[in-house]
C-alpha cells in the first residue's frame, strides 16, 4: 500500500469520525444501561406524559453551584425527550431575580409547572415531585376527603422532621423522617392526586359537611358517640361514601352502623402462620385477590395487626358485597392479647379469615360505596411505601370516589432497594440455597469419589 492510499484512508477515517460526531450532536438519543434504569423515566411518568394534549411548561429555579443542579437538568431534559408537549426553562435565582419575581418564587429548588391557565408549585427536583405536579394539572378532581379525629385515629397531620445525609464532596442533602404511627405520607399522596384533605371532629360539628365526597375513619381507639354514629348514618343516607380501617380487638363503636350494611367486625386479631411479612405471623400477607378495580395489578400487600371482617348472612337485598382478600388457610384468631402467648398449647383449627370487604348499596335512588379493612397500620408512614400497600390505599380511595380511570396512575414512590419476603419465601430460599444446592454438590462429590475408587 503506497503513501497516497494510506493518507486517503486516514483522511476518510478522520472525516467519518467528524461527521459521526456532528450527526450524534444533533440527535438526542441515549441508552440507560443501569440495572434499575436510574436515568430513565418510570412507566408511571411516561403514562402521565402520554395523556398530555397541550403544552406544559416546566420552570425550574436553581443556584449554579448546587450539586443537585446537573442531575435536575438532565432529568428535565428527559421529560422533553419523552414528550413534545414539554418545554423547560431554567433560571439561576441569583442572576435572574426578575424571572423569580415574575413567577413569585423565593427559594432555590422551586419548580413551577404551567398548563393553560393553571399552575402548580413544587419544592422537589426529583421525578416523583415533577411527575405528580404534571399529574395534578391533568387531574381536576377537586373532591374533598375528611378524616375523622378525636378517637385516637392515625393522625393525617403527623409530625415530620428534617435530617441530613452527608455525602463526601457534596453539601448535606435533606432527608425527611415521618412519625411512624401517622398518615402524613398518605395525606401528601392524596393531595398530589388533587384531592382536598381535612380533619373532621364530629363531636364538635355534629354532622358531616355537605362538601364531603368521602369520609375516612382511620383505626379509632375510642368509641364514637351515638350522636356521631347518627351523623355518619345521615351522611350515608344522602349518598356519602365511607372508608373504615379498624384495629385488632377494637371496633370503635362502629359495629352497629356497619352491621346495617352487612359488615360484622369480629374484634379479634388474625395470626397467619402460612403467609406473613418477614417472620411476624401477626402481619398477614397476601398476593391473592378477588377480581375488582381495587385489586387490578396489585402486588403483595401485608397488614400488621389486623382483625377479621365477616359479612352478615344474609346481607340486605340492596347491598352488593365482595370480600377482596383473606388470610391463608394456616390462620387462627385470638380474642385478646393474652391468648397470643397461649397459642402453643391451644387446640386450634386453622382456616382462612376475611380481611377486607367492599360493597355498593343502591336504595331509593341513593347509592353508596363502602370499604372496610381490619387494620389501618398498613397505610401509616411506617408501612405505606412497602410492597403494594400504597397502591391498595390509593386504588381504594379512587374506587370509592368513582375515579377508577386513575387507578394505574398513583403517585410514584422510591424506597431503598430492599427485598421483602414472606416467611414462606424465606423458608424456600433457605432450603434452596443452604440445603438443596449444597446437597447436590455433596452427592456429586461422593459419586465422583466412588467412581474413582472403582476405576
For residues 89 and 224, state if they share a domain. no
In a domain, 417, yes or no: no
For residues 58 and 176, state if they share a domain. no
Rg (CA), the chain: 28
- Residue 47 belongs to domain with CATH number: 3.40.30.10
Q: Is the peptide bond before 314 cis (omega within 30 degrees of 0)?
A: yes
For the record, the C-alpha cell of 258 comes out as 356497619
For residues 170 and 90, state if they share a domain. no
Instruction: Supply the pLDDT for residue 191.
Output: 82
Burial zone of 48 (CB within 10 Å; 0-12 exposed, 13-18 middle, 19+ buried): buried
For residues 102 and 161, state if they share a domain. no
Alpha carbon distance 153, 372 (integer Å): 15
- Within 10 A of 327 (CB to CB), how many other CB atoms are there? 28
Alpha carbon distance 29, 43 (integer Å): 18
Alpha carbon distance 159, 438 (integer Å): 49
Choose one of 138, 155, 180: the last residue of a domain: 138
Rounded to two decimals, the pTM is: 0.68
Domain span at residue 216? 144-406
Contact 147, 397 (CB under 8 A): no
Alpha carbon distance 387, 302 (integer Å): 8
Confidence of residue 435 (pLDDT cuts 50, 70, 90): confident
Q: Measured on CA atoms in the order 340, 344, 349, 353, is the torsion positive or negative?
A: positive
For residues 312 and 360, state if they share a domain. yes
For residues 181 and 310, state if they share a domain. yes
Instruction: Supply the pLDDT for residue 189.
Output: 82
Instruction: Supply the pLDDT for residue 166.
Output: 42
- Residue 217 belongs to domain with CATH number: 3.40.50
Instruction: Supply the pLDDT for residue 429.
Output: 82
Choose one of 115, 138, 161: the last residue of a domain: 138
pLDDT of 40 > 90? The answer is no
What is the total count of domains within the chain?
A: 3
For residues 156 and 129, state if they share a domain. no
- Please state, rounded to an integer, the average pLDDT across all residues of the chain: 84
Instruction: Supply the pLDDT for residue 173.
Output: 46
For residues 449 and 360, state if they share a domain. no
pLDDT of 307 > 60? The answer is yes
For residues 51 and 169, state if they share a domain. no
For residues 303 and 451, state if they share a domain. no
**Out of 267-281, 332-346, 369-383, least confident range:** 332-346
In a domain, 12, yes or no: no
Alpha carbon distance 273, 279 (integer Å): 9
- Per-residue pLDDT, averaged over 100-129, amounts to 82
pLDDT of 255 > 90? The answer is yes
For residues 160 and 199, state if they share a domain. yes
For residues 172 and 249, state if they share a domain. yes
Chain mean position to CA 24 = 39
Contact 305, 269 (CB under 8 A): yes
Contact 54, 136 (CB under 8 A): no
- Per-residue pLDDT, averaged over 116-145, amounts to 79
Amino acid at each position: 500500500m503506497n503513501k497516497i492510499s494510506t493518507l486517503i484512508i486516514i483522511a476518510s477515517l478522520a472525516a467519518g469520525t467528524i461527521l459521526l460526531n456532528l450527526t450524534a450532536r444533533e440527535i438526542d438519543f441515549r441508552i440507560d444501561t443501569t440495572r434499575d434504569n436510574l436515568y430513565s423515566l418510570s412507566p408511571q411518568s411516561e403514562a402521565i406524559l402520554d395523556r398530555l394534549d397541550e403544552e406544559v411548561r416546566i420552570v425550574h429555579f436553581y443556584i449554579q453551584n448546587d450539586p443537585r443542579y446537573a442531575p435536575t437538568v438532565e432529568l428535565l431534559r428527559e421529560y422533553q425527550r419523552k414528550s413534545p408537549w414539554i418545554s423547560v426553562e431554567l433560571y439561576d435565582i441569583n442572576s435572574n431575580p426578575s424571572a423569580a419575581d415574575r413567577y413569585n418564587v423565593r427559594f432555590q429548588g422551586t419548580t413551577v409547572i404551567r398548563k393553560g391557565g393553571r399552575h402548580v408549585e413544587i419544592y422537589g427536583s426529583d421525578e416523583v415531585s415533577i411527575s405528580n405536579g404534571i399529574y395534578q394539572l391533568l387531574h381536576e378532581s377537586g373532591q374533598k376527603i375528611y378524616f375523622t379525629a378525636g378517637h385516637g385515629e392515625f393522625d393525617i397531620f403527623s409530625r415530620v422532621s428534617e435530617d441530613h445525609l452527608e455525602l463526601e464532596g457534596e453539601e448535606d442533602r435533606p432527608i425527611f423522617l415521618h412519625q411512624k404511627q401517622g398518615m402524613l405520607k398518605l395525606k401528601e399522596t392524596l393531595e398530589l392526586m388533587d384531592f382536598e384533605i381535612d380533619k373532621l371532629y364530629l363531636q364538635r360539628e355534629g354532622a358531616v359537611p355537605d362538601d364531603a365526597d368521602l369520609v375516612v375513619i382511620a383505626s379509632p381507639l375510642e368509641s364514637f358517640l351515638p350522636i356521631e354514629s347518627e351523623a355518619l348514618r345521615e351522611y350515608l343516607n344522602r349518598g356519602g361514601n365511607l372508608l373504615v380501617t379498624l384495629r385488632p380487638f377494637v371496633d370503635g363503636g362502629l359495629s352497629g352502623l356497619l352491621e346495617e350494611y352487612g359488615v360484622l367486625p369480629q374484634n379479634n386479631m388474625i395470626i397467619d402462620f402460612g403467609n406473613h411479612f418477614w417472620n411476624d405471623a401477626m402481619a398477614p400477607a397476601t398476593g391473592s385477590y378477588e377480581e375488582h378495580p381495587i385489586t387490578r395489578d396489585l402486588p403483595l400487600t401485608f397488614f400488621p395487626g389486623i382483625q377479621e371482617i365477616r359479612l352478615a348472612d344474609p346481607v340486605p337485598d340492596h347491598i352488593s358485597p365482595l370480600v377482596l382478600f383473606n388470610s391463608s388457610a394456616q390462620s387462627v384468631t385470638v380474642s385478646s392479647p393474652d391468648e397470643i402467648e397461649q397459642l402453643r398449647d391451644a387446640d386450634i383449627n386453622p382456616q382462612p379469615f376475611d380481611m377486607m370487604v367492599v360493597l355498593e348499596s343502591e336504595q331509593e335512588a341513593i347509592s353508596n360505596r363502602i370499604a372496610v379493612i381490619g387494620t389501618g397500620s398498613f397505610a401509616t408512614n411506617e408501612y405505606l411505601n412497602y410492597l403494594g400497600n400504597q397502591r391498595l390505599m390509593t386504588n381504594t380511595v379512587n374506587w370509592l370516589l368513582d375515579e377508577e380511570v386513575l387507578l394505574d396512575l398513583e403517585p410514584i414512590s422510591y424506597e431503598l432497594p430492599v427485598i421483602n419476603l414472606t416467611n414462606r419465601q424465606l423458608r424456600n430460599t433457605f432450603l434452596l440455597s443452604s440445603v438443596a444446592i449444597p446437597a447436590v454438590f455433596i452427592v456429586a462429590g461422593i459419586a465422583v469419589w466412588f467412581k474413582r475408587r472403582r476405576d
